[in-house]
């Protein structure tokens, strides 16, 4: 028979240690429920019976339960928080649409995602309850803008389903009815010029000018041997233009409406789709806002579009390769410099208020004195004695206009050297062409007295999109555009006035050959006058290039975009100063009928 031995008695010290572990919990229970009597010794069966029979003990049970619930919500005094009861899910963050940006919603009330920058898209994803809004926003962004295979410039979320990194059906079903990936325009026509320039004509399906059309130009830049060719895209920001520049075909239309951010961005997206379909692998590296419209008359949409296309995870066009051109809206120019890092170009076109009031009417609001003062503040130039000495030496070495004309580079040579973006200057002339067009020796062949090659190393490309950091405080320089009009603004006196006007402005001058169009009264300057004008500026120490006409045979060149037939009230033709009338052509017979419809327009 087995005998059960009694268990060894627990030492007093061990028992006290074990009991002391429960002391905090007893103190905590007493603190949260002081009205409950502390538990006494273990009762016998008789004492329990008596306690239950007492009427005063009856209400203790619910009170004790309430106290235990309250005690559970208090933090544990030694081991952290006690388990908490389930609560309601936290409220989703509120999404606030960007202010002052029209076109955020389409005609069906859906949010247009291409109108949002990446941070704005991330905020919207957070408001939709996404667990990782940054990742979700980047996924949408890449599908809209990235090159294949990372993205495919998709037009809807449904296109990604079933593909690698595509969207789940649950997400598409949740958000697809409320959002749109469309850009608000469709490619309707492609016009090809003889020099390889392609004009894309888009029909607008939404926005202020729905049913109208805008034009975008793809400009090929053929570079020197050893350098890869590239493409520049010239985008539009408005349908028509309200500035009424007298020599510009777009200005004749008047303003029919602003483009939305999505419609501006979609021009670049559609261009990439078109190049992919064509099998054209030439990189699209530069973007200029020099198409239809005044970009700074639609500032909010333009700056948001510039932010979107410059993102390195999307359309990846560097902000250094993006240029916004303006006729001189001074407050908006300051805003651009304060809010973005893109480059600025100024359409100047005249050196006197008399001429600029006529051909660029916005000069009546911001005259040349006001404009020049603002430029000196925004793009200050550091005066150096060495540069002044070089200017004086160069001025003395080229005394006559005939000698100056002999040293100017031909249009093809200037465009090729500028497009190359090289810091060195070639001294080799171009190969003879079948057309027999002459070429003139570069300035460097005259010897050391001529302006050095380094002074022109930062010249912009022929499309005005490349620019290097200059001597301004922010490292920016201004591109000054100057359209050469025969007998109007192309004299040597104009050249010297221009040099005086810009002597304290960190800038480069780009001379534009005027591109005639139907109904124009202006004539392009001669090659000799353009060369003399450029040489006069170089003598004064300025960097000056000549922009060749590209696509002018198919109305795709600078100043030729648009369709006056779309306008119900074309802008008026302004009266020319008497002394310039001899240089003007008589308008075509069809022009007066259109102009007579708007005698009161401004």
User: H or E element: which one contains 307?
Assistant: helix 299-309
Q: What are phi and psi for residue 505, nearest 5 degrees?
A: -115, 130
CA-to-CA dists, residue 239 to 209, 247, 298, angstroms: 7, 17, 11
Paired strand residues for 326: 346
Query: DSSP label at 265?
Result: H
- Taking the C-alpha atoms of residue 230 and residue 222, their distance in angstroms, rounded to an integer, is 7
Q: Within a 13 Å sphere around the CA of 136, how many CA atoms are in the beta-carbon half?
A: 21
The crossing angle, in degrees rounded to 10, of helices 385-397 and 527-539 is 140
What whole-number distance in Å separates Cα of residue 279 and Cα of residue 302?
29
Contacts 24+ apart (CB under 8 A), 281-285: 282/220, 282/229, 282/230, 282/231, 283/228, 283/230, 283/231, 284/218, 284/230, 284/231, 284/232, 284/233, 284/317, 285/230, 285/231, 285/232, 285/317, 285/318, 285/321
**Which residue, 214, 203, 199, 322, is CA-closest to 258?**
214
CB-based contacts of 320, cutoff 8 Å, min separation 6 = 341, 343, 466, 467
Nearest in space to 537 (alpha carbons), one of 598, 586, 494: 494
**DSSP letter, residue 502:** T
The CA distance from 251 to 582, in Å, is: 23
Closest of 327, 374, 366, 321 to residue 346, by C-alpha:
327
Identify whether 221 is preceded by a cis peptide bond (ω within 30 of 0).
no
Alpha helices in 109-257 (DSSP H): 118-127, 133-145, 169-175
At residue 574's C-alpha, the angle toward residues 572 and 575, to 5°, is 140
CA-angle at 566, arms to 560 and 569, nearest 5°:
100
Catalytic residue IDs: 215, 558
- Give exposure, 524-555, as e/b (b: 16+ Cβ within 10 Å): bbebebbbbbbbbbbbbbbbbbbbbbbbbebb
In the structure encoding, which two tokens stand for residue 21, read together? 């572990």
The sign one gets for the Cα dihedral 257, 260, 261, 265 is negative
Q: For residue 575, count CB atoms less than 10 angstroms from its CB and return exposed for 0-12, middle for 13-18, buried for 19 or more.
A: exposed
What number of other Cβ atoms are within 10 A of residue 311's Cβ?
Answer: 16
């Amino acid at each position: 028979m087995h005998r059960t031995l009694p268990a060894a008695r627990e030492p007093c010290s061990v028992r006290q240690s074990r009991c002391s572990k429960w002391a905090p919990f007893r103190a905590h229970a007493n603190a949260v429920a002081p009205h409950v009597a502390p538990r006494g010794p273990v009762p016998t069966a008789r004492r329990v019976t008596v306690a239950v029979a007492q009427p005063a003990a009856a209400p203790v049970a619910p009170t004790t339960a309430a106290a235990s619930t309250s005690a559970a919500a208090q933090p544990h005094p030694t081991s952290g928080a006690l388990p908490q009861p389930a609560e309601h899910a936290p409220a989703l963050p509120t999404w606030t649409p960007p202010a002052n940006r029209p076109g955020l919603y389409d005609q069906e009330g859906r949010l247009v995602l291409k109108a949002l920058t990446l941070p704005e898209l991330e905020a919207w994803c957070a408001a939709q309850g996404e667990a990782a809004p940054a990742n979700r926003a980047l996924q949408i962004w890449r599908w809209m803008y990235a090159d294949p295979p990372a993205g495919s410039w998709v037009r809807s979320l449904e296109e990604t389903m079933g593909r690698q990194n595509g969207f789940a059906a649950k997400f598409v079903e949740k958000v697809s009815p409320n959002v749109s990936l469309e850009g608000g325009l469709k490619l309707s026509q492609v016009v090809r010029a003889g020099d390889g320039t392609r004009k894309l004509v888009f029909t607008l399906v939404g926005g202020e000018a729905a049913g109208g059309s805008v034009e975008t130009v793809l400009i090929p830049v053929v570079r020197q041997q050893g350098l890869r060719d590239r493409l520049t895209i010239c985008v539009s920001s408005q349908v028509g233009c309200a500035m009424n520049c007298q020599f510009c075909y777009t200005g004749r239309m008047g303003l029919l409406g602003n483009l939305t951010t999505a419609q501006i961005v979609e021009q670049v997206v559609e261009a990439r789709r078109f190049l992919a379909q064509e099998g054209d692998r030439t990189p699209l590296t530069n973007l200029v806002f020099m198409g239809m419209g005044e970009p700074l008359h639609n500032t909010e949409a333009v700056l948001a579009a510039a932010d979107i296309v410059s993102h390195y995870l999307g359309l990846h066009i560097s902000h250094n390769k993006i240029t916004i051109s303006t006729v001189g809206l001074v407050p908006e120019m300051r805003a651009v410099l304060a809010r973005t890092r893109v480059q600025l170009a100024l359409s100047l076109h005249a050196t006197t208020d008399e001429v600029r009031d006529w051909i660029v009417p916005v000069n009546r609001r911001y005259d040349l004195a006001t404009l020049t003062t603002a430029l000196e503040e925004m793009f200050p130039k550091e005066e150096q004695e060495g540069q002044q000495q070089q200017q004086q030496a160069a001025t003395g070495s080229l005394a006559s206009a005939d000698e100056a004309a002999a040293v100017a580079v031909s249009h093809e040579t200037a465009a090729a050297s500028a497009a190359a973006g090289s810091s060195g200057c070639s001294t080799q002339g171009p190969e003879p062409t079948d057309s027999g067009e002459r070429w003139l020796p570069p300035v460097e062949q005259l010897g050391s007295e001529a302006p050095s090659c380094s002074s022109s190393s930062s010249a912009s490309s022929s499309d005005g999109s490349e620019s290097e950091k200059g001597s301004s405080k922010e490292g920016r320089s201004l591109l000054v555009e100057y359209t050469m009009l025969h007998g109007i603004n192309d004299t040597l006196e104009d050249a010297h006035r221009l040099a005086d006007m810009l002597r304290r402005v960190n800038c480069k001058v780009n001379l534009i050959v005027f591109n005639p169009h139907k109904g124009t009264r202006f004539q392009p300057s001669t090659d000799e006058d353009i060369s003399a004008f450029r040489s006069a500026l170089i003598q004064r120490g300025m960097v000056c290039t000549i922009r060749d006409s590209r696509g002018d045979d198919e109305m795709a060149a600078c100043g030729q975009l648009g369709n006056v037939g779309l306008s119900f009230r074309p802008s008026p033709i302004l009266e020319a100063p008497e002394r310039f009338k001899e240089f003007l052509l008589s308008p075509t017979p069809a022009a007066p009928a259109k102009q007579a419809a708007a005698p009161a327009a401004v």
